[in-house]
Structure 1
């Protein structure tokens, strides 16, 4: 036998501003209720929390309910669809998404747990959506590297990226407060990007890394006629086996190379006994020439690109010494495993 329950509401409310003013509204809402698991996108294997929602809710109603659970502002949340082929966050939802919760959950099977992802923001979602995620390395004053993610204007330039970086890092107390963006490939500096260069021209790639650093005081203003910044990199025997942290060094025309060596030793904070094992070479087009003369004086022309070979990177100063660091590369954080889904 079928059991029927009849519900009567004798006096429908007048000018009631509540979301469910009538019994009919209540039972319609009950019919559309759905439990959704919300997982933090930034936490691996986050179990999340369950919120009971209505399939008829729009984006802002969902955001408001989740924000109450997280004790935050709904405008400081970004939501992501769940991937259809595996458990994980998919594409982000725009804050002006016009569909309903039912539209977001339509690809889940009836008995399958409904899951969405979110991340908490430090800026309003309306501002965040006009920015791009830019992964880079920050080189601090202790000559240590750390990965940072910045959110500059997606239509901005390198200058905007550097200004965002200043908000996220700690600069030296008596430093220049000027930053620069370097491009690094295989542990070698291949260029310094100009501040007016558009960020849309800097596409990410697994083979290269962008690094931001504070410009040392002695490198802010250069005498173009007698001074030059040269890239310096570490290698051991083979110049294609570079490793470690590359850096830029200022050299002066005619200065003693012993003075250059002293600055390098101070910068790298290496003990004298260990530094004596270093050998120095000028590397050009994959070939290296060791500096063997005790009284060698710097010649800027040795570090200038060779005429007719503009396709090759400029010469660099190589530090030949044993690599004591672990074999795993420092600049592999952008590399991801290839996954094949059947």
Structure 2
């Protein structure tokens, strides 16, 4: 069916100039307070992620002046790719997908040679199948560190009340299959498995007792960060 309605958009900059730019949606995860700020950033085509970092630093408040930033992509509530500052944005990033940026915690700079930065995901079970939700994150696990010690740090990160945190379950997750952990387990021993296709295929999973009951709500949970949007 033909339509006689003509739609148009009022641009804030001349069209030739806009055509030479790439527009990015950036989700900046603040270290303190614990919230996510969304920014719309325009950069010339051919810019690198280092250019994006420089632009973003002028728009956000960092916890310290020498803070380093990490850029990564989230797909289906899992960390999918980490970008290098030297990579060109328009060559590797889908502009329709928000780019996540966070400060690299100071604790990571003191990591030992056998410590490991792992991906952490939130999940619940729907008819025995895993459903991921919420915002995944990176977490440094020390060599020889037991789950009991990791749980203390996770609880502090999310400020979960003791009574509620007792209901959380922790699992090593590979290829969407959870292998539940005990407090005495040395967690990094599970991440030594071979034949893993990529880092996104194994993670530390947090199964929440306050998990949503409907799939439509799988992107929300009690510990989501507040969101603000800036143009």
Category of TM-score, reference length = shorter chain = 0.7 to 0.9
What's the counterpart of residue 60 of structure 2? Answer: 169
Residue 79 of structure 2 contacts residue 200 of structure 2 at CA under 8 Å; is this kept in 1? Answer: no
Q: What TM-score does the superposition give when structure 1 sets the normalisation length?
A: 0.55
Matched, 1:137 2:32: no
Q: What pairs up with 1:1-342 in 2 under 5 angstroms?
A: 86-89=6-9, 117-119=10-12, 130-141=20-31, 142-172=33-63, 174=64, 177-204=67-94, 208-223=97-112, 225-238=113-126, 240-292=130-182, 294-299=183-188, 301-304=189-192, 306-307=194-195, 309-310=196-197, 313-321=200-208, 322-323=210-211, 327=217, 329=219
Write out per-residue CA displacement over residues 115-146 of structure 1, whole angstroms, 9 at most, x where no aligned residue: xx24169xxx9987643211121111233223
Residue 24 of structure 2 contacts residue 99 of structure 2 at CA under 8 Å; is this kept in 1? Answer: no
- Flag the 1:228–1:328 CA change in 2: closer, same or farther, 3 A: closer
Shift of 1:178: 0.8
**Quick check: which has more Rg, 1 or 2?**
1
**Structure 1 SS opposite 2:44:** coil
**Structure 2 SS opposite 1:226:** coil
**Structure 2 SS opposite 1:155:** coil
- Flag the 1:311–1:296 CA change in 2: closer, same or farther, 3 A: closer
Q: How many residues align?
A: 211
My pick for the range that moved more, 212-221 or 274-283, is: 212-221
- Flag the 1:200–1:305 CA change in 2: closer, same or farther, 3 A: farther
Shift of 1:199: 0.7
Shift of 1:285: 1.0
**Structure 2 SS opposite 1:133:** strand
**Structure 2 SS opposite 1:152:** strand
- Flag the 1:175–1:289 CA change in 2: closer, same or farther, 3 A: farther
Shift of 1:221: 4.9
**Structure 1 SS opposite 2:21:** coil
Residue 303 of structure 1 contacts residue 314 of structure 1 at CA under 8 Å; is this kept in 2? Answer: no
Distance 2:16 2:103 in 1: 31
CA RMSD of aligned residues (A): 2.9
Write out per-residue CA displacement over residues 223-255 of structure 1, whole angstroms, 9 at most, x where no aligned residue: 3x3111111111112563111121110001101
**Structure 2 SS opposite 1:162:** helix
Shift of 1:171: 1.1
Q: What TM-score does the superposition give when structure 2 sets the normalisation length?
A: 0.79
Gap runs ≥5 in structure 2: 221-231
Residue 278 of structure 1 contacts residue 320 of structure 1 at CA under 8 Å; is this kept in 2? Answer: yes
